Structure 1
């Protein structure tokens, strides 16, 4: 079939489904796992630095160089099988080797990730795990006796997984060497692929748990800032009914608080959204393990419900509180803007009334001026006509006083009629322009 038929990204999207397969390994085995994250703006980090850091590791151990464009890598580094992945905010590196160390959880098991190499990482270490995978004894109680010496009782979880085909145990604590320890005991007949999936889900569970809890510190910082802003917002809302305070001044105060709330939302929205997504992944990985209780020991879901879920609820509570305060400030802003509009409408009404009074005064003044104009024009018209008609009046024997008396009403009426005609034409022209 012609390649023109396919969407340009069809093959890339299908290949993405198979880009990060779970490892395959046989018990007994040891796994060292680390995850690094940039402290700030990790989603927009320079990913070429992550690849360069991986290249340094592969060259040190004589492995194949990674492709700078790839977001995942698998290769053989000496006796280790290395699996590296680049995620949205972090990178993970898992090294698996056959067999178990002489001493349980000996730090030498993670020697491939030297301290120097970890110090040179572009980001900071957010997770570090040592996982021992061993064959499950015929009596599972023997495994419990062994892990009793490895883990602290407080926080210890031990569960059956995958229909009692394996046991996972750990205490979610960091030892003196910076590693978090987990033990996996598998039945002899369990296949390499299923062992690899158990390991993969376990390291993902811990990684996403650690990343998701970054939102807790942000939530605490946000809560302290909201504790400062909430009294100011409440005071503004309570003072909105005070007629002695200018609505525009109150609105300006509200805008300052609203701007701060929006700024907090911008700063925390990505972290809170990521926390919600990572929490869902954590719970999904636990569900995928299909855990059941082992001799009355604490289960993963119980541990998460008591230790992890409260942190997530704190994050959601801070997020919801921020959203609620933003909604309150928006509602208050709408009310204040309505009050400002009403006050401005009242001011505009007063202004229009003043303009009407001024227009009325101007009209009266205009009428007065028109009357005076008629008198003045008539006066000059009578004077001019009297000068023009006086010789004729003298010839026919009419006294000048009688002549002026006769001309005066005629001149006044003629001037008034002329001005009335002019004003009428102006009004007609104005009306036609309005149409």
Structure 2
């Protein structure tokens, strides 16, 4: 089977499956992760600026330049192994380094991402995570002592993952240096590929959690706007039962409907993205296959109490917006029906007036027709009297008797001619000459 039988995208699509492998990490090691997003219209951002920003970082360490047409990059930058990915709305950088800093979660572990370089990023930082990977002590109490010093107790989560292959701990808080911290303890026999997948899921969990919660602020602002529009929409519906003028109601309804449609357009993408990101967050938690560690809070419990309420707020406002758009559409249908009924009544009244006017015109026409017979007969008799006067004189007939005799004949002839004209006008299908 030759190359001519291959689909032109076959190899590209297969290679896409292997384009973003999870890192291979040993223990102990450190992972620093950052994600940047454009504040507005991130989907249509200039991705060339993202590649240029990555090239600034690789250029500092003499690493190979990234391909501007690729959406991922992986290379060695000194002691750090860097992995870069371009997503729909954001870009991510993950740098992994063997060993642990002298002080737990020391910001120097993320020195590969200098502050001035981060400030020059095309977007704003939406996630910054430090993950420390260490070997699991034989005594689990030692783990509790460590994480008790590192994390806030009220929001601490600590769970076994992947059939107790490893333990993850974190508090989902941002420290004074702007980093969210997670501790990963793995058993000595855990493979580097499995450690890399766990770390990858942890940083994705935080990234997609942050991205999904961007919809919360939009939902709150939308809620305030809907609180203003809902009374107006209710007043319009109530006004339809109070015989308010349809024109005034229509103008108000158009204003409210236009505002609702504008809100739907502005928020549809963000709400859709929020739902997608939420699904990814829950998928990453499910993929970890967590179990309880020494009675501590689990990730699912933390998310149920701290994260899911925010997602329900977004969903409820999205549903509320859709409901109000549908209410406005139904109100428009009702108002259109009312206008049609009123217009039909007006047309009926107009037709009745036209019928009365036509009847009056017909009567007037008959009156004018009678007067026309008299007038035409008058002129006809006058013309005939001039024409027949010599004849009357020749036979010795008085002119007045001649006129008196011609008058009834002229009237009858004119009346008959007028009837013939009217009959022909009332029969447009017939052809003839008057």
Query: TM-score, length-normalised on structure 1?
Result: 0.97
Shift of 1:423: 2.2
User: How far does the alpha carbon of each residue in 1:222-265 deviate from its partner, in whole angstroms, 9 at most, with x for none?
Assistant: 0011111111111111111112x211111110110111111111
User: How far does the alpha carbon of each residue in 1:131-163 deviate from its partner, in whole angstroms, 9 at most, with x for none?
Assistant: 000111122222122111111101100000001
User: How far does the alpha carbon of each residue in 1:314-344 deviate from its partner, in whole angstroms, 9 at most, with x for none?
Assistant: 0001111111111111111111111111111
Q: Please give the secondary structure, in 2, of the residue aligned with 1:82.
A: strand
Match of 1:240 in 2: 240
Match of 2:335 in 1: 336
RMSD over equivalenced CA pairs, Å = 1.2
Moved more, 25-34 or 381-390: 381-390
Q: Please give the secondary structure, in 1, of the residue aligned with 2:149.
A: coil
Distance 1:391 1:378 in 2: 21
Shift of 1:430: 5.6
Matched, 1:298 2:275: no
Shift of 1:424: 2.0
In structure 1, the gaps of 5 or more residues are none
Match of 1:379 in 2: 378
The aligned runs of 1:353-368 (5 Å cut-off) are 353-368=352-367
In structure 2, the gaps of 5 or more residues are none
Shift of 1:431: 7.5
Distance 1:203 1:4 in 2: 43
Query: TM-score, length-normalised on structure 2?
Result: 0.97
Superposed structure 1 runs of 4+ greater than 6 Å apart: none
Verify the 8 A CA contact 2:424 2:430 in the aligned structure 1. no
Distance 1:33 1:335 in 2: 56
Distance 1:74 1:25 in 2: 14
Match of 2:73 in 1: 73
Distance 1:74 1:12 in 2: 18
The aligned runs of 1:97-108 (5 Å cut-off) are 97-108=97-108
Match of 1:36 in 2: 36
Distance 2:406 2:5 in 1: 105
The aligned runs of 1:87-126 (5 Å cut-off) are 87-126=87-126
Distance 2:349 2:424 in 1: 33
Match of 1:170 in 2: 170
Match of 1:271 in 2: 270
Q: Please give the secondary structure, in 1, of the residue aligned with 2:153.
A: coil
The aligned runs of 1:278-427 (5 Å cut-off) are 278-427=277-426
Distance 1:431 1:159 in 2: 100
Distance 2:429 2:180 in 1: 90
Distance 1:431 1:9 in 2: 75
Distance 1:374 1:12 in 2: 97
Moved more, 232-241 or 351-360: 351-360
Pairs aligned (count): 431
Moved more, 302-311 or 10-19: 10-19
Shift of 1:15: 1.4
Verify the 8 A CA contact 2:74 2:81 in the aligned structure 1. yes
